[in-house]
Amino acid sequence: MLIDHYGRQIRYLRVSVTDRCNLRCLYCTHHHFEWLPPEEILSYEEIYRVVRAAVSLGLERVRLTGGEPLVRRNFVGLVELLSGIRGLRDLSLTTNGLLLPEMAQELRKAGLRRVNVSLDTLRPDRFLEITGFDGLSRVLSGIEAALSAGLNPVKINTVIMRGINEDEIPEMVRLTISEPLHLRFIEFMPVGEGADWGPERFVPLSEIMERATEVGELQPAVVEGGGPARVFRLPEARGTVGFIAALSEHFCGSCNRLRLTPEGRLRFCLFSDQEFDLRPYLDRGEEALREALLEAIRYKPASRMDSGRPRRIMRSIGG
Ligand code: SAM
């Protein structure tokens, strides 16, 4: 079993399938335009091997992220491969949603069950300002396509930034009344050298929650794969509202996750640049990979407090 020094069992792996992205979000990629050379990126077969070995050690959940996973060629093929792994109970995707209109059905058919779409604003001009691309209507169509393809739950990840979108909190919460959408507000995190992060942009979760409750009473609720989110529902609402305090609180004591970078390095904490290179073990058979995973897990830090601000940007570590 993948149990670390502190008794935490690893059940969750976030796989960054590419560092490329079709958006330039100001909190992620903004000033950073270098891509990994294609020959360094793990093939789908190699990702499959890592996941299969980890599942044989008790891993249960995999989230595909990036970069933008849907821009990688034949991404549906990867979903098909991974969804066939016995013992993998939950396969999910985080996407900016731009390519979901044409891909949601195929993804569902390939075995994907649920999806998180990142969306920080409901205003077209702001969407352009935040992401560098005039694509709000495509993302909204992508969300509709995900719902009609039967992906469930469909979650919306919203990063709140002061002076940029904090005034939209009530409007976003209202979305969950009429739509079966599961919104999650995320604190802006100081991750990556290419990001426009500054303390003046940070809105603590307590303030986000206060603004959200302006809409109505939030009652505790449950949603599949809730992870570190605290989840609530407005009376009669079809969806839920979740809150993730990535910075002002921490959940290190119960952290059960690892990250796999596009070039095959394991990362142990979002806030730490410590990595373990799995590449040398990829061609040596499943037993060697299992041993490497068991060795790697020893590097998982007790808490992100030991870590500082990571240099690598979100899209190359699977945000
Ligand atoms: N391209 C996909 C997408 O847009 O969802 C997947 C990768 S993206 C890096 C994953 C998530 O990380 C997004 O929801 C994004 O909002 C979030 N993210 C990126 N940088 C962040 C930051 N500095 N603070 C908080 N969340 C961040």
Lookup: tokens for 194? 């290419």
Measured from the CB, is residue 21 less than 6 Å from ligand 1? yes
> What proportions of the chain, in percent to the nearest 5, are helix, strand and coil?
35, 20, 45
Q: Report how far ligand 1's centroid is from the alpha carbon of 26 (Å).
A: 10
Is residue 209 in some structural domain? yes
**Is the CB of residue 155 less than 8 Å from the CB of residue 182?**
yes
Is residue 7 in some structural domain? no
Residue 65 CA, closest ligand 1 atom number = 6
Question: What is residue 277's predicted lDDT score, i.e. its pLDDT?
Answer: 97
318: alpha, beta or left? (left if phi > 0; alpha if psi -120 to 50) = left
Q: Report how far ligand 1's centroid is from the alpha carbon of 286 (Å).
A: 32
Total structural domains within the chain? 1
Q: Report how far ligand 1's centroid is from the alpha carbon of 105 (Å).
A: 23
Is residue 1 in some structural domain? no
pLDDT tens digits for the chain (319 residues)? 999 989 999 999 999 999 999 999 888 866 666 789 999 999 999 999 999 999 999 999 999 999 999 999 999 999 999 999 999 999 999 999 999 999 999 999 999 999 999 999 999 999 999 999 999 999 999 999 999 999 999 999 999 999 999 999 999 999 999 999 999 999 988 766 555 667 888 999 999 999 999 999 999 999 887 677 899 999 999 999 999 887 766 778 888 999 999 999 999 988 888 899 999 999 999 999 999 999 999 988 888 765 555 555 565 665 6
| DSSP line for 49-95 | HHHHHHHTTT--EEEEESS-GGGSTTHHHHHHHHHT-TT--EEEEEE
Measured between alpha carbons, how far is 71 from 90 in angstroms, rounded to an integer?
22
Strand partners, 259: 14, 267
Lookup: tokens for 98? 């731009």
Lookup: tokens for 81? 């491969």
| DSSP line for 93-109 | EEE-STTHHHHHHHHHH
Does the N-terminal peptide bond of residue 153 adopt cis geometry, omega within 30 degrees of 0? yes
Residue 213's contacts (CB-CB under 8 Å, 6 or more residues apart) are none
Q: Report how far ligand 1's centroid is from the alpha carbon of 208 (Å).
A: 18
- Class of residue 133 by CB neighbours under 10 A (exposed 0-12, middle 13-18, buried 19+): middle
Residue 195 CA, closest ligand 1 atom number = 23
Measured between alpha carbons, how far is 172 from 169 in angstroms, rounded to an integer?
5
Rounded to two decimals, the pTM is 0.94
Is residue 151 in some structural domain? yes
- Give the residue whose CA is nearest to atom 7 of ligand 1: 66
Measured from the CB, is residue 96 less than 6 Å from ligand 1? yes
Is residue 81 in some structural domain? yes
Is residue 114 in some structural domain? yes
Question: What is residue 197's predicted lDDT score, i.e. its pLDDT?
Answer: 66
Measured from the CB, is residue 29 less than 6 Å from ligand 1? no
Is residue 2 in some structural domain? no
Q: Which domain holds residue 272?
A: 12-316
**Is the CB of residue 158 less than 8 Å from the CB of residue 181?**
no
User: Can you tell me whether residue 180 is helix, strand or coil?
Assistant: coil
Q: Report how far ligand 1's centroid is from the alpha carbon of 29 (Å).
A: 10
pLDDT in tens, 82-130: 999 999 999 999 999 999 999 999 999 999 999 999 999 999 999 999 9
Measured between alpha carbons, how far is 34 from 105 in angstroms, rounded to an integer?
32
pLDDT in tens, 288-308: 999 999 999 998 888 876 555
Query: Inter-axis angle of helices 136-148 and 124-131, to 10 degrees?
Result: 100
Is residue 4 in some structural domain? no
- Give the residue whose CA is nearest to atom 23 of ligand 1: 189
| DSSP line for 223-264 | -TT-TT-EEEE-TT-SSEEEEE-TTTS--GGG--EEEE-TTS
Measured between alpha carbons, how far is 76 from 153 in angstroms, rounded to an integer?
19
Lookup: tokens for 148? 């009609």
- Give the residue whose CA is nearest to atom 10 of ligand 1: 319
User: The domain that contains 61 carries what CATH number?
Assistant: 3.20.20.70
Q: Report how far ligand 1's centroid is from the alpha carbon of 120 (Å).
A: 10
